[in-house]
């Protein structure tokens, strides 16, 4: 768990902040989204993971620079888990980048019902003193 | 040594909001019909306890409590856990131990008591079956995972929500005829299509129930089956499959890849094809899950599953009857009991013991069970064969 500067991801957080994850979060505070790249087999992970799934080599954090995506799928959560009840309804979306990489986050500025295939842009948000996130915007 | 294994007996507690019972009483209810049929504790070598989530009751070592509740506290027992597929994972584990010769007679007892917490808390606990680091912080509830499948499916195949509502109508039609069901009532198409939203595009009637319940079956090795019954239900084939932990990493959201893998393995082991199956119990935790199951199990081509419900081919007199006990949707979904309950239902149908003629499927030779954990991370498919003419 982070001590001197606590930061967590998202809105309802997992507090297991490892050194690897903390590095990811510190980049996110600077509006940088990091992917994981295996130096051995070059497999990429978005979001990142510390160890490569294929060969268990330690991955490096490398900035992910794509910003535009298309809506692959979505859900409007009306009845939320207890920890998210105050935010409902909210929209969770899987966006697909041109590279084929996908990312799951909220869409925060919709004015009408989401449509599969619609354009999305990646954004960043300081949710609270301790929480930071990536998000989708239309 | 590999021996053939049969299901020889079963028992089923009433599913529902069981404020009148604890895990102990639910287990006793499920085992009592088996005991009354003469399969007393001394005839059982060991038990697999199917119990998915201790957080609902707060009961640690729940499997020990379950065994103790029915007088099997001195016999070997272990707990299996594969989220919502825990029941069939337990049957799979017992099958392995019986087929291998470790035991001759095993009880599989599944139970869950989910209504000791509020619906919001239960929804919170189940959301933690998503990836705690990357999915949980975005509040993806259990229905939300399946809504992600539904949104994609509806967009790719240009399918309206009406089709899902028709599945819910069927589930409740049969649940209304099942005295063990949690919510035994009919719903109209209008009610099912226009219910309060839960995780759009899914509404209340697209979602299964938060249920308390228990079910049990007895597995026996071939050399000893005749000691127990002249109506054995053989395990003809079983397959297990798995899928990526994070739903965004799946190659497609119009099917569950682990279900396809499990089905292929089960059909191969059984030497059967989808057209040979006479009935199926599928994991309809959500209406979209039943639709996708039609396709993953090979009963319909991709994108064509809707024809089965629209043409009523999945009703009890149709080509491939599905969930004629009400399914998870109306019968209920007590996580650890669900896969065991599905197996119980196949046996009841094979024996002509469905509760009412209006849900009795005729002449079942091969019955299939399809049980999915979380959004597809674990899937078991089991094909049962009627062992008498």
Chain segment A43-84, per-residue pLDDT in tens: 999 999 999 999 999 999 999 999 999 999 999 999 999 999
Average pLDDT, chain B: 97
CA distance A10 to B134: 9
Chain-centroid distance, C-alpha A76: 18
- Do residue A117 and residue A89 come from a single domain? yes
Q: Is the pLDDT of residue A3 over 80?
A: no
- Of A1-5, A99-103, B274-278, the one with minimum mean pLDDT is A1-5
pLDDT at residue A2 in the model:
43
User: Do B248 and A92 make contact, defined as CB atoms within 8 angstroms?
Assistant: no
% of chain B beyond a pLDDT of 70: 100
User: Do B139 and A116 make contact, defined as CB atoms within 8 angstroms?
Assistant: no
A28, A49, A64 - which closes a domain: A64
User: Do B199 and A75 make contact, defined as CB atoms within 8 angstroms?
Assistant: yes
A16, A35, A64 - which closes a domain: A64
- Do residue A74 and residue A60 come from a single domain? no
Summarize pLDDT for A18-43 with one digit per residue, the tens.
Answer: 999 999 999 999 999 999 999 999 99
Q: Across residues A108-126, what is the average pLDDT?
A: 96
**Phi/psi of residue B76, nearest 5 degrees:** -60, 140
* Domain B5-117+210-227 classification at class level: alpha beta
| Residue A101 placed within a domain | yes
pLDDT at residue A4 in the model:
58
| Total tally of structural domains belonging to chain A | 2
Q: Which of B161, B283, B333, B370 is catalytic?
A: B333
pLDDT band, very low/low/confident/very high, at A1 (cuts 50, 70, 90): very low
More confident site: A1 or B220: B220
- Do residue A12 and residue A73 come from a single domain? no
pLDDT at residue B1 in the model:
66
Check: CB of residue B280 under 8 Å from CB of residue B321.
yes
| Residue A2 placed within a domain | no
Average pLDDT, chain A: 94
pLDDT at residue B82 in the model:
96
- Do residue A77 and residue A125 come from a single domain? yes
Q: Across residues A104-126, what is the average pLDDT?
A: 96
- Do residue A114 and residue A57 come from a single domain? no
pLDDT at residue A15 in the model:
79
- Do residue A102 and residue A72 come from a single domain? yes
User: Do A79 and B140 make contact, defined as CB atoms within 8 angstroms?
Assistant: no
% of chain A beyond a pLDDT of 70: 96
- Residue spans of chain B under pLDDT 70: 1
Q: Please give the residue range of the domain that contains residue A20.
A: 8-64
A39, A64, A89 - which closes a domain: A64
- Do residue A54 and residue A74 come from a single domain? no
- Do residue A97 and residue A48 come from a single domain? no
Shortest CA distance from B133: residue in chain A: A14
What residues contact A11, with CB distance under 8 A and at least 6 apart?
Answer: A84, A87, A106, A127, A131, A133, B137, B138, B139
Q: Which of B80, B84, B207, B285 is catalytic?
A: B84
- Do residue A79 and residue A42 come from a single domain? no
More confident site: A8 or A58: A58
3-class SS shares of chain B: helix, strand, coil, % to 5: 40, 20, 40
Nearest to A73 among B135, B246, B253 (CB): B253
Could you please report the per-residue DSSP string of B15-34? PB--TT--HHHHHHHHHHHH
Establish whether B84 is a catalytic residue: yes
Q: Does B140 touch chain A (CB under 8 A)?
A: yes
């Amino acid at each position: 768990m982070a001590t001197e500067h606590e930061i967590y991801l998202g809105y309802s957080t997992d507090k297991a902040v490892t050194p690897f994850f903390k590095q990811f979060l510190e980049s996110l505070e600077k509006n940088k989204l990091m992917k994981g790249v295996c130096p051995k087999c070059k497999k990429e992970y978005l979001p990142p993971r510390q160890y490569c799934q294929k060969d268990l080599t330690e991955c490096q954090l490398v900035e992910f620079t794509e910003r535009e995506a298309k809506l692959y799928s979505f859900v409007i959560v009306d009845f939320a888990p207890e920890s998210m009840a105050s935010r409902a309804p909210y929209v969770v979306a899987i966006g697909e980048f041109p590279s084929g990489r996908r990312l799951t986050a909220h869409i925060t500025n919709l004015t009408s019902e989401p449509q599969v295939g619609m354009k999305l842009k990646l954004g960043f948000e300081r949710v609270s003193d301790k929480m930071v996130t990536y998000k989708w915007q239309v | 040594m590999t021996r053939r294994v049969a299901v020889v007996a079963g028992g089923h507690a009433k599913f529902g909001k069981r404020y009148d019972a604890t895990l102990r009483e639910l287990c006793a209810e499920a085992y009592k019909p088996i005991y009354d049929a003469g399969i007393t504790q001394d005839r059982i070598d060991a038990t697999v306890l199917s119990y998915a989530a201790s957080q609902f009751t707060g009961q640690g070592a729940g499997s020990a409590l379950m065994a103790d509740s029915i007088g099997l506290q001195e016999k070997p027992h272990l707990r299996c856990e594969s989220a919502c597929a825990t029941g069939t994972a337990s049957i799979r584990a017992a099958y392995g131990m019986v087929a291998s010769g470790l035991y001759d007679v095993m009880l599989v007892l599944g139970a869950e008591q989910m209504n000791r917490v509020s619906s919001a808390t239960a929804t919170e606990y189940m959301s933690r079956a998503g990836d705690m680091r990357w999915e949980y912080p975005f509040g993806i509830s259990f229905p939300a995972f399946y809504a992600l499948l539904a949104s994609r499916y509806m967009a790719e195949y240009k399918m309206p929500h009406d089709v899902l509502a028709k599945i819910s109508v069927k589930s409740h039609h049969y649940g209304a005829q099942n005295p063990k069901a949690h919510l035994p009532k009919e719903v109209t198409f209008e009610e099912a299509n226009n219910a309060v939203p839960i995780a759009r595009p899914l509404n209340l009637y697209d979602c299964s129930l938060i249920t308390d319940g228990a079910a049990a079956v007895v597995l026996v090795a071939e050399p000893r089956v005749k000691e127990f019954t002249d109506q054995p239900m053989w395990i003809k084939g079983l397959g297990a499959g798995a899928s990526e932990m994070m739903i965004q990493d799946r190659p497609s959201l119009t099917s569950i890849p682990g279900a396809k893998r499990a089905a292929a393995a089960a059909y191969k082991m059984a030497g059967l094809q989808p057209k040979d199956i006479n009935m199926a119990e599928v994991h309809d935790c959500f209406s979209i899950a039943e639709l996708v199951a039609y396709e993953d199990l090979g009963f319909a081509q991709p994108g064509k599953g809707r024809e089965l419900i629209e043409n009523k081919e999945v009703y009890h007199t149709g080509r491939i009857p599905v969930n004629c006990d009400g399914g998870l949707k109306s019968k209920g979904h007590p996580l650890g009991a669900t896969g065991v309950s599905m197996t119980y239902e196949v046996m009841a149908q094979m024996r002509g013991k469905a509760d009412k003629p209006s849900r009795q499927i005729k002449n079942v030779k091969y019955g299939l069970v399809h049980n999915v954990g979380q959004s597809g991370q674990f899937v078991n498919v089991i094909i049962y064969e009627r062992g008498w003419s």
